[in-house]
């Protein structure tokens, strides 16, 4: 999911290049996002450059260049020798400076547009998860919502948030919804956990944890309408926060 859309975006989505961000940027962003979300674990060895390039469907040259950037950011470490390779250095921060710049340069309209997409996806997933309720999934979701409630640092909160959203889509019995949710989390999930001076992220955190628990209750009760409504309300809260953060960041940048 590209972060921003331009004019003619719908036609571009059909006829345009598969990624207009530039291959290298796209690869680096995707790997960076997966690391921030904790999907690639600290110390994990990345597949060999050839295999990774093949599985990403990019040229080895683009991949190597992306890895050079990640190395410069301290996110990847290369060790030589026969047990060598590229290893992930898990970020202890959210990659804050880059995210701030990104959020500052976006517009309220773009954030609302992405928010609509997230709401549609989360609402559909929640609805199906309630309709197709499984007691195993409900207990998983409950412990993940509790994990978000207990998370203290920004990366912990982002990861718990992201996993919860992906697991709701999994509880809907849909691999495709889960994949899309994961893609959205990697693209914009972290931004909501940024902070600006004078901002009350703990209140937002408490609201989200409570909102997720309320969603689990609705799924548990197989209340399809309430599940959808709860999920949509949760994403709206996030969109509102993103817009507020955006205003604060872009005002400061000016």
Partner 1 sequence: MTRPTSSRTADTERAADRVAAALAERISGVFDATERIAIDLSNLAAAARRAGDPLRRSGLAPMRRAIDAAIAAEPRLVIGAGVVLAPELLADASLWLEWWTTAPAGPSQPLRPNLDPGSAWFYDYTRAPWFVEPRDRDRRAIVGPYVDIGGTDDYTLTLTVPVRLKGDFLGVAGCDLAIDGLERVVREHTRRLGTQVILVNHEPRVIASSIAQAHPGSLFAPAPGSPFERHTAHPCPRLPWTLIVAD
Per CB under 8 A, residues contacting partner 1 are 37-39, 41-42, 131-134, 136-137, 147, 156, 159-160, 162-163, 166-167, 169-171, 173-175, 178
Report the nearest approach of partner 1 to the CB of residue 113 (Å).
27
Nearer to partner 1, 169 or 216 (CB): 169
For CA atoms 219, 151, 241, 177, the dihedral sign is negative
Report the nearest approach of partner 1 to the CB of residue 170 (Å).
4
Nearer to partner 1, 52 or 137 (CB): 137
Report how far residue 221's alpha carbon sits from residue 99's, in angstroms, rounded to the nearest whole number: 38
Report the nearest approach of partner 1 to the CB of residue 130 (Å).
11
Nearer to partner 1, 192 or 243 (CB): 192
Nearer to partner 1, 18 or 41 (CB): 41
* Sequence-ordered alpha helix ranges (H) in the chain: 9-15, 23-36, 49-56, 60-72, 96-105, 108-131, 135-150, 154-171, 175-188, 201-220, 224-253
Nearer to partner 1, 106 or 178 (CB): 178
Report the nearest approach of partner 1 to the CB of residue 252 (Å).
30
Nearer to partner 1, 171 or 248 (CB): 171
Report the nearest approach of partner 1 to the CB of residue 11 (Å).
32
Orientation of helix 154-171 relative to helix 135-150, angle to 10°? 170
Whole-number Cα distances in Å, 226 to 51, 126, 134, 168, 223:
45, 9, 17, 14, 5
> Which residues touch 39 (CB under 8 Å, ≥6 apart)?
182, 186
Report the nearest approach of partner 1 to the CB of residue 92 (Å).
13
57: left (phi over 0), alpha (psi -120 to 50) or beta: left
């Amino acid at each position: 999911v590209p972060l921003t859309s331009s004019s003619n975006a719908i036609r571009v989505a059909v006829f345009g290049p598969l990624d207009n961000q530039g291959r290298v940027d796209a690869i680096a962003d995707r790997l960076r996002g997966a690391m921030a979300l904790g999907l690639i674990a600290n110390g994990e060895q990345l597949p060999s450059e050839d295999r990774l390039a093949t599985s990403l469907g990019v040229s080895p040259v683009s991949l190597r260049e992306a890895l050079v950037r990640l190395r410069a950011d301290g996110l990847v470490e290369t060790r030589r020798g026969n047990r060598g390779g590229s290893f992930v250095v898990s970020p202890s921060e959210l990659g804050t400076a880059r995210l701030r710049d990104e959020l500052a340069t976006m517009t309220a309209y773009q954030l609302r547009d992405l928010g609509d997409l997230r709401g549609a996806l989360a609402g559909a997933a929640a609805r199906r998860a309630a309709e197709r309720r499984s007691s195993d999934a409900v207990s998983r979701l409950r412990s993940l919502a509790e994990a978000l409630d207990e998370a203290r640092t920004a990366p912990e909160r982002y990861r718990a948030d992201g996993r919860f959203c992906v697991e709701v889509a999994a509880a809907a019995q849909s691999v495709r919804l889960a994949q899309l949710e994961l893609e959205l989390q990697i693209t914009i999930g972290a931004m909501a956990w940024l902070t600006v001076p004078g901002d009350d992220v703990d209140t937002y955190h408490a609201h989200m944890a409570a909102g997720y628990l309320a969603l689990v209750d609705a799924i548990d009760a197989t209340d399809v309408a309430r599940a959808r409504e709860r999920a949509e309300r949760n994403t709206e809260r996030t969109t509102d926060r993103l817009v507020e953060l955006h205003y604060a960041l872009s005002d400061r940048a000016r």
